[in-house]
Amino acid sequence: MSPVLFFQEEEENVGQEEKQEEEKPVNESEEAEEKEAKKQKEEEKRKKLGCNDDEVLAVLGHELGHWKLSHNLKNLVIGQVLPCILGSQE
């Protein structure tokens, strides 16, 4: 799909959402259902965003631990020296 078509479709979808929001519910029960539906949509959007702050901090801390313990340097040396010592396996 070309970028131009993608943006055109996106604009059409936004226009449709605005039209739907303009339509007002007739009674209170429909209004309550609309609010509940909006809450569910917001919840789904929030779930799709990915990790929360604590999870990101945990992963970042883990990766920084590798750096502090010089695992990157050790793996680089192992990756370069071992093939030379073992020779070609083919």
Distance in angstroms (rounded) separating the CA atoms of residues 68 and 63: 9
The active-site residue, picked from 10, 12, 63, 90, is 63
Q: At what angle do helices 71-86 and 53-68 cross, to 10 degrees?
A: 50
Three-state secondary structure along 21-56? HHCCCCCHHHHHHHHHHHHHHHHHHHHHCCCCHHHH
Tens of pLDDT along the chain (90 residues)? 455 555 555 555 555 655 555 555 567 888 888 988 998 888 887 767 778 889 999 999 999 999 999 999 999 988 888 888 888 655
State if pTM tops 0.75: no
Would you call 63 a catalytic residue per the annotation? Answer: yes
Distance in angstroms (rounded) separating the CA atoms of residues 16 and 89: 61
Residue ranges covered by each domain of the chain: 1-50, 52-90
